[in-house]
Structure 1
């Protein structure tokens, strides 16, 4: 079987798909990952084969444009102004960026890139003879290619935000203003086109979708890295992990870099703090309290099992890796999806959530104390871990995908039988 992955220009979006890619390859299937050139090296380091033919605006610029648009429409949920969508500098006024003028100047270039992504993906799927397509919620080029060629398309969710969300800010499927989907005769792009969803969430975090659900165990992949032996040694006092999003300040500005406040909050507690981040973020902290150790780009799945709590920005990778490890979590969030991750974990009893703009060291210290002192959080976190462990493995999911591809063989339009 030939399986085509299409992924967006953000490694955190496709990291949950990596273990499925391994399982498919271990079962003897061929996997190719259509991505942007920027993602080719991370995909290769993950042990998968990239096909870097995608282009267009980078994800940070796209996200800043969206936040600027929301602010202009009066939908910004936080105080202050968004960043300049192009430069990333702080704006003094919304009038400092002329959105219509920018759109006019870049319309042709963006349209050409989007068209190239759709046509390039469809062409590759036909020439390679893909039997099945797996795509993340944003990389719908694979969805179009699958619909046109008559093979199954499977959306792989990355966390508890699903394909049928009531809140507009949580509707992850991109829009199709140029009408590529109806132009190819497959209908309008929207939740109704999604037939299958790989759901990596425990039952207590069940994501909303009307598609057929393909349950799978969340298996963390946070990038390659070495595992030091000391992580297996029981800590002498509660160990608290702190991890922050690599791109958060590029989307929300320096106000979103809460690590100094978090470190100051935890420096006054009788805990061992392990901080992982980029070299730049660690250097910006200066001298650390005696109970804080910092490591560059430490794979989270190695660190969390011996932790008593974790503080993070609410990203799906952090939240779900914490779920898999059974660790209570404090999410300090800025984006709508991060807020949903934090509130849904909190609703399951396995953590606490606070909007990032409301966080200060005293509040953070009090919330971490609650995670450590109130047994219900650890109990609920362990319950989520056991729910996750009870779900089918990626190897079991491969069998489901094989059956989907076999059932759809008669409908394909490229003249190939399923391998």
Structure 2
């Protein structure tokens, strides 16, 4: 009998980058393999909440001391960059490439803060395989240090399934190469990229990706079922969320999108469920909130959305795919370029609408009314996407493939 493999997952952010990896981690555990998930201190509660073995690497204080890069101010402002840029950075002009390069360099700094603890744990635990999220730069370095395979893992929609680049698609990022040099190992690319994004939501590959497709069964965290979900209702129900990222992407000099959206939805007769994802103090002031607005926390979208007629959201990858798989029409109001890139995917697949303007309550109210009156086209597109998703290899099939293809199960 083949012995169990040890698989170490590496992430840097929860929930957005951790949650898409949870079904694969579960599948590996269910098959009898040993699984651990390494992440920063901020990830620990989410990891253990998913029933997984958490390994803390890096220090929150050191992370807080990282300098703020002025180029990244543009990342938190609403903008539509050229469609498909996340797969082909050569579509961007020089100014936008500088923003993406600054993002990659920041992720390299985060990876550097994780690596001492990560390497120490890896040398003790001796994993057979490292699975790292697409922006966890420490993952491939650890695999190179340990001499084991590495496989990248995308988030559901809009993931950058390639190594970080500098000013062109074919130019490696010096900061990334230095992570390997400091540990005395040669740079090594992931052997493949696990992609839970259905084909209908993917941008074209550029360059070609060695992809391992995987069925996405959305995981949105644990939660309790509130009694009101099952109660009869007389109004259409609209869910509004800015996700956990809402406060992070909020532009202090721009419009408060959540407040404007609530204002627009209040003009309809719908019941509004404001699904708060960030800290309590991140919610906007809304002194005249109607009784029809219900603020909820800790109710996973997979539990909430089957009772909803419409989802209005910021363009988070997990929110998009959960809504689509459950057949709920969507309106996307993206607060940042990556959310707009995900919004392009929503429109491309026909499962939702992306707004051109975020500061026009009248436009939003009209769009909400149009979708609620005729949800059929989006629901039909979501049904097609759900069938496409279910046709992809399951997490269990991918787990078996990883262990049989990419691990060396000789003696430790």
| 8 Å Cα contact 1:312/1:329 also seen in 2 | yes
- In the TM superposition, residue 273 of structure 1 has moved relative to its aligned partner by 1.9
**What per-residue deviation string (whole Å, max 9, x for no partner) do you get for residues 94-153 of structure 1?**
xxxxxxxxx9xxx9xx99975452233233223211011111111121111223333221
Q: Does 1:5 align with 2:18?
A: no
Q: 1:139 to 1:112 in 2, by over 3 A?
A: closer
- Mapped partners of 1:237, 1:167: distance in 2: 50
- In the TM superposition, residue 314 of structure 1 has moved relative to its aligned partner by 0.9
SS at structure 1 position matched to 2:7: strand
Match of residue 367 from structure 1: 367
SS at structure 2 position matched to 1:284: coil
- Mapped partners of 2:113, 2:162: distance in 1: 28
Structure 1 unpaired stretches of 5+: 80-102
Match of residue 54 from structure 1: 58
Q: Which of 16, 20, 34 lines up with 1:16 in the alignment? A: 20
Q: 1:166 to 1:19 in 2, by over 3 A?
A: closer
Q: Does 1:312 align with 2:313?
A: yes
What aligned pairs does 1:3-402 form with structure 2 within 5 A after superposition?
Answer: 3-55=7-59, 65-66=68-69, 68-69=70-71, 115-161=112-158, 162-164=160-162, 176=175, 179-182=178-181, 184-187=184-187, 193-207=189-203, 208=205, 210-232=208-230, 235-254=233-252, 255=254, 257-277=256-276, 279-281=280-282, 284-354=285-355, 358-374=358-374, 375-402=376-403
| 8 Å Cα contact 2:259/2:284 also seen in 1 | no
Structure 2 unpaired stretches of 5+: 80-101
- In the TM superposition, residue 15 of structure 1 has moved relative to its aligned partner by 1.0
- Mapped partners of 1:349, 1:296: distance in 2: 29
Q: 1:322 to 1:58 in 2, by over 3 A?
A: farther
**What per-residue deviation string (whole Å, max 9, x for no partner) do you get for residues 324-355 of structure 1?**
21222111112221111111111111111125
What is the aligned length? 373
- In the TM superposition, residue 363 of structure 1 has moved relative to its aligned partner by 1.3
Q: 1:112 to 1:156 in 2, by over 3 A?
A: closer
| 8 Å Cα contact 1:218/1:324 also seen in 2 | no
Q: 1:347 to 1:60 in 2, by over 3 A?
A: farther
SS at structure 1 position matched to 2:8: strand
- TM normalised by structure 2 equals 0.79
Match of residue 83 from structure 1: none
- In the TM superposition, residue 56 of structure 1 has moved relative to its aligned partner by 6.1
Match of residue 82 from structure 1: none
Q: 1:29 to 1:293 in 2, by over 3 A?
A: same
- In the TM superposition, residue 264 of structure 1 has moved relative to its aligned partner by 1.7
| 8 Å Cα contact 1:151/1:409 also seen in 2 | no
Q: 1:77 to 1:45 in 2, by over 3 A?
A: closer
**What per-residue deviation string (whole Å, max 9, x for no partner) do you get for residues 178-220 of structure 1?**
71224534337xxxx2321111111211353633222222122
Q: Judging by fraction of residues, say which structure has more helix.
A: 1
Aligned-residue CA RMSD in angstroms?
3.5
- Mapped partners of 1:167, 1:363: distance in 2: 39
| 8 Å Cα contact 1:351/1:371 also seen in 2 | no
SS at structure 2 position matched to 1:225: coil
| 8 Å Cα contact 1:239/1:271 also seen in 2 | yes
- TM normalised by structure 1 equals 0.78
- Mapped partners of 2:273, 2:347: distance in 1: 23
SS at structure 1 position matched to 2:116: helix
- Mapped partners of 1:46, 1:10: distance in 2: 11
| 8 Å Cα contact 1:134/1:155 also seen in 2 | yes
| 8 Å Cα contact 1:282/1:294 also seen in 2 | no
